Structure 1
Amino acid sequence: MGIREIMKYFVIWRGLLFIFLFLALYYLPLQKNFLGGGLENYLEKPYLWAWANFDGEHYLAIAKEGYKPLTYFYFPVYPISTRLFAGLIGGSFYSYVVSGLFLSHAAFFIGLIGLVRLIRLDYKKDIAITTVFLLLLFPTSFYFGSFYTESLFLALVVWSFYFARKKRWILAGLFGAIASATRIVGVVLFPALVVEAWGDRRDKEDRRNWGMKIFGVFLIPIGLFFYMYYLKSTTGDPLEFLHSVGIYGEQRSTQIILLPQVFYRYIFKILPNINYDYFPVVFTTWLEFLTAVLFGGLGLLGILGGLKRLRKIRIRLSYLIFLVLGYIIPTLSGSFSSMPRYVLILFPGFILMAVYLNELKSSYRYFFFCVLFILLGIATALFVRGYWIA
């Protein structure tokens, strides 16, 4: 699967998102509360500003004006990068959204290239193609083309793993360090790549480079430490990004909530009591829950495969650690809210999905793709018209 083929699928995906946007402009009423560029900009250029709704509004403000109270939850690499690009093309408010969207699209394309190369180290081409299809058709994949960190973070993560697999540990560590300053989940790369490094300990040639391995792996949390130092110097609290979770209201807790408790909340309290007469809330809540079930199940499949209980569903231990920890960390706040977006960067889950689907009849696989396509259309249409998705 070469770069041209990846580009073809990338362009088709981007074109589909624009089709969903144009249909939504005609058929869905606009929710005006969380439009990234404000109502006036949205009405003038919806094809541009619609991709900066909700959290995109915060990243846009940080990129242009810097951090303000209750925005420290948003890590700095994406807004800083956006600011740098915007400065090159004039520094106007318009240039910021253009720069951020350019960064997101470029990073996603580069991330897809890295993902395919990473998959091909262990699997045949058909697994790589299915994984890419699953990622592009996932109901929240539009975030990769929005003013959000998902595309940049995915690119950093997959290339960090790729360089680790190629034993280029300094590059793996540098990409990991940038990732840990892009999203808090970036620190999960540290235990994952420790395991990856430890797995090669019997290789005599590799043992000579053990010092380089250690140095590279220990670069990973430096990005987070730099951000914590900045927070300490400006707010007095190096963990302010955790305490800023209060901006999400009662749906997030500053105390640790265990995963079984979160499932209990959804099954017995949230799902039975939502307003089933209001489709956007029904769609979003069930999408949160089903995404949590799906990726929880994928994590379980990976664990069973690691224990050799499933012969054909196997994945590297370092990938499994990234998948499981990357899945659990967002749930500790007590909610699956945003889970449909957070799982986008859990590439091992998509690989496991591809491996499992490729064991099924092609008709089942195509049916699953069709379901994802429909859900992607609905989710994209709702998001670009100002309805909360994730």
Structure 2
Amino acid sequence: MSFPKILRLFLLWQLVIILITAAAFTLLPLRTTFIGGSDQASRVDPQPYIRNPLLYSRANFDGIHYVDVARKYGYAQQAFFPLYPRLINILSKYIHPPALAGILISLASFLVGLIYFARLIRLDYSPKVAFWTIVALLVFPTSFFISAVYTEGLFFLQVILAFYFARTGRWWAASIIGMSASYTRFAGVFLFPALILEWWHQRSHPESRKKPGISDLLCLAFIPLGLVIFMHYLYHTTGDLLAFIHVQKLFQQGRGDKIIMIYQVYWRYLKMIFTVNRSDPLYLTILLEFFSAILFTVTSVVSLIKQRASYSLFNVLNFITPTLSGTFTSVPRYVLLCFPSFLLFGQWLSLASGTYRRLYIAASLGLFILFLMLFVRGYWVA
């Protein structure tokens, strides 16, 4: 899949986001609780969002925290890993405001990530599968988070590069990228067991062009160092190595302190579906979380059967770990990094008839429009 084709898809995706965002300003009332731009507020400009909603609507909710952390960690913000806000801090010295710096980092990272994602897919599949996999990702109902002031764009690049370098025998590069991933999000540490499995696969399968050595395995130990460095910082600033976990309960997202199995979470959501006020916009988010969990439970199982073991392991860990806190909150966003699941969607779309493709894209785009409009107007989505 050529770069011009990827770039056209990327630019079309961004154009759609801008048009839908602009339409949302007239179609939905603004909920001002967690809208972006608060870091730029002043007595003469108390609500920067109102002045520039196309910019600051991409910095709602967690985006507010990332911009704050770019200056300094504040109360309960230890849940946000440091690499992305650190990059915002550096770039915002040249590009202002910080929200714009964050958006540019996300967009640039994701575009490069798409290029390498296509290359990763082409190691095993046709250009047609690569094309439809990228389409499936771009039209997914929550893909707009990738271009917001969130870590999704940067983390997508890191995950794809780590797997691509491992698949092509550049283990040191995979390790360094993996270390940066575990300094960006906790899920980055899942690259450690996944790439160990990839090393074993290449070591034990005769079709591998060059078998990796023991030194290649040992260098993977660098991957968790990003997390270790952050935990060391937390211990010296808060006295709690696991502050990034313990502060989660302060965000009132229904996360528990104990491990809760996924079937219990499903039961909890079934009760909410039948008891929560259906006129509340939050009800739509509950449905999105519930059905996203079902979809990626299924694709995780299929991945275990049909895909490389390293892909499947990362897919399962990235999906299942957030659910162990007792909620599917943010799962529709977290699954954007389940690239093996999107590869399954791409394989199916590449074989599907034109009618089924149009139905899939229309349904996914309809949900994309709905949840993007809610997000940019200050309603919680993921």
What TM-score bracket applies, with the shorter chain setting the length? over 0.9
Q: In structure 2, what is the equivalent of residue 243 of structure 1?
A: 246
CA displacement at 1:200 relative to structure 2: 1.6
CA displacement at 1:218 relative to structure 2: 1.0
- Contact 1:137–1:373 (Cα < 8 Å) also in 2: yes
Instruction: Specify whether residues 95 and 277 from structure 1 end up closer, same or farther in structure 2 by C-alpha distance, changes over 3 A only.
Output: closer
Cα distance in 2 for residues equivalent to 1:100 and 1:176: 21
Q: In structure 2, what is the equivalent of residue 56 of structure 1?
A: 63
Q: In structure 2, what is the equivalent of residue 346 of structure 1?
A: 338
1:271 counterpart (266, 273, 278) = 273
- Contact 1:169–1:212 (Cα < 8 Å) also in 2: no
- Paired AA for residue 37 in structure 2: G
- Contact 2:285–2:381 (Cα < 8 Å) also in 1: yes
**Cα distance per residue 1:308-330 (max 9 Å; x no partner):** xxxxxx21110000101111111
- Contact 2:374–2:381 (Cα < 8 Å) also in 1: yes
Cα distance in 1 for residues equivalent to 2:117 and 2:313: 17
CA displacement at 1:250 relative to structure 2: 5.4
Cα distance in 2 for residues equivalent to 1:338 and 1:276: 20
Give the fraction of aligned pairs with identical amino acids, expressed as a percent. 39
Counterpart mapping for 1:174-189 below 5 A: 174-189=176-191
Instruction: Specify whether residues 105 and 250 from structure 1 end up closer, same or farther in structure 2 by C-alpha distance, changes over 3 A only.
Output: closer
CA displacement at 1:361 relative to structure 2: 2.3
Q: In structure 2, what is the equivalent of residue 308 of structure 1?
A: none
Quick check: 1:41 aligned with 2:33? no
CA displacement at 1:212 relative to structure 2: 2.8
CA displacement at 1:302 relative to structure 2: 1.6
Cα distance in 1 for residues equivalent to 2:22 and 2:371: 14
- Contact 2:68–2:74 (Cα < 8 Å) also in 1: no
Cα distance in 2 for residues equivalent to 1:342 and 1:323: 11
- Paired AA for residue 30 in structure 1: L
CA displacement at 1:247 relative to structure 2: 2.2
- CA-based RMSD: 1.4
- Paired AA for residue 293 in structure 1: I
Cα distance in 2 for residues equivalent to 1:250 and 1:36: 20
Cα distance in 1 for residues equivalent to 2:264 and 2:62: 26
CA displacement at 1:237 relative to structure 2: 1.0
Q: In structure 1, what is the equivalent of residue 237 of structure 2?
A: 234
- Paired AA for residue 296 in structure 1: T
- Paired AA for residue 347 in structure 1: F
Q: In structure 2, what is the equivalent of residue 87 of structure 1?
A: 93
- Aligned pair count? 373
Q: In structure 2, what is the equivalent of residue 71 of structure 1?
A: 77
Quick check: 1:212 aligned with 2:212? no
Cα distance in 1 for residues equivalent to 2:112 and 2:354: 29
Q: In structure 1, what is the equivalent of residue 42 of structure 2?
A: none
- Contact 1:33–1:386 (Cα < 8 Å) also in 2: yes
Quick check: 1:283 aligned with 2:304? no
Q: With structure 2 as the length reference, what TM-score do the two structures score? A: 0.95
Query: Which 5+ residue runs of structure 1 have no aligned equivalent?
Result: 306-313
**Cα distance per residue 1:26-82 (max 9 Å; x no partner):** 111000000121361000000100000001011111012x11231111111100011
Q: In structure 1, what is the equivalent of residue 43 of structure 2?
A: none
Instruction: Classify the secondary structure of the residue corresponding to 2:47.
Output: helix
- Contact 1:172–1:216 (Cα < 8 Å) also in 2: no
Cα distance in 1 for residues equivalent to 2:316 and 2:289: 17
